[in-house]
Amino acid sequence: MNGDAQGNGGGAHGDRQPVHVPVLLDEVLTMLELRSGLVVVDGTVGAGGHAVRIARAIGPDGFLVGLDRDREILAVARAALAQAAAAGARAGFSLHHSPHANLREVLAETGHLRCDRVLLDLGVSSLQLDRPERGFSFMADGPLDMRMDANAPLTAARWLAEVSERELADTLFQLGEERFSRRIARRIVAARRRTRITRTGQLKDLIVSALPAPARRGRIHAATRSFQAIRMRINDELGELERGLDAAAACLRPGGRLVVISFHSVEDRVVKRFVREHLQVVTKKPITATPSEARHNPRARSAKLRCGIKREEEAA
């Protein structure tokens, strides 16, 4: 979906059209090696930036299956694909409100037991980050939510109210690679004894206040790693990634291609290991954004693309 820099269409916000720039678009299309007639799964369809170009490349006889955990952003993708179809991208498509861990079951619902290509674009969408009410970003104050699926029961505010200091510190360190994780966890737990932590601005200020002065002046904002870690924990993003990779490999036909875009080293290590152990490696080193794309689309700066091919002997 999408990445870590990450208006809704389909009538959700009036007539405003979303602005969404898919990361590594040309590189994705090259690695997927698309042609007419293929069955392609976009497991993190997001606003449909990659999906629209995929639909054009596999039409008129191909079929696109898109999944996303965010029902609102799925409406944006549906509108984009419908517009592309009206403009001549005649590939069939089917969109589903589901995590990519359910890829195998969703594909079967469409009448396909196997697919030819799978794309996973990880992280949070710019359309989610840009809405303060979703609670993903500290750039504007909003409720501390962070749920990719608005129907999920666990919000970031609830988790922070209940989590132990040790688990919080471990989460910040393991998922955010935050070296001051224990100081931040201690500050948050002390603060919640006085009042509930319910706003993104409130959490941002607590994180920054826990850091030594030099750590507050880094290349990225001092709260970035902690927000990333909490979001990943709330949405079980590493668990979803591991299950999604397994499902993708199981569904791909021999010779089929898996393309994954990750946005930080924790995810990239999982993807790298999986591709090496289960697929024929296409990208010995990850593909990254060109200087031009990085300038024009800041969220592309941390993107890493890896590709693998399903081996013949792994056919089910």
Task: Verify cis geometry, omega within 30 degrees of 0, for the bond prior to 60.
Answer: yes
**Per-domain boundaries in the chain:** 25-127+237-314, 153-234
Q: What 8-state DSSP symbol labels residue 17?
A: P
Confidence (pLDDT) at 6: 28
Q: Which CATH architecture has domain 153-234?
A: Orthogonal Bundle (1.10)
Confidence (pLDDT) at 1: 42
What are the DSSP E strand ranges found in the chain? Answer: 39-42, 63-68, 92-97, 115-121, 252-262, 280-281, 304-309
Residue with tokens 């639909």: 55
Q: pLDDT per residue over 283-298, tens digit each?
A: 999 999 999 999 998 8
3-state secondary structure of 255: strand
Under 8 Å CB-to-CB from 50, ≥6 apart: which residues? 22, 25, 28, 42, 119, 121
Confidence (pLDDT) at 313: 62
- Side-chain-side CA neighbours of residue 27 (13 Å): 21
Under 8 Å CB-to-CB from 42, ≥6 apart: which residues? 50, 51, 54, 64, 65, 66, 67, 119, 121
Q: pLDDT per residue over 134-166, tens digit each?
A: 999 999 999 999 999 999 999 999 999 999 999
* Positions of the chain with pLDDT lower than 50, given as ranges: 1-19, 314-316
Tell me the Ramachandran region of residue 131: left when phi exceeds 0, alpha when psi lies from -120 to 50, beta otherwise: beta
Confidence (pLDDT) at 20: 64
CB 225, CB 177: distance < 8 Å: yes
Under 8 Å CB-to-CB from 79, ≥6 apart: which residues? 9, 10, 48
How many of the other CB atoms lie within 10 Å of CB of 296?
Answer: 11
> What is the fold of 25-127+237-314?
Rossmann fold (3.40.50)
Q: What 8-state DSSP symbol labels residue 282?
A: S
**CA dihedral of residues 53, 114, 242, 36 (deg, nearest 10):** -10
CA distances from 300 to 2, 123, 142, 312 (A): 10, 12, 25, 33
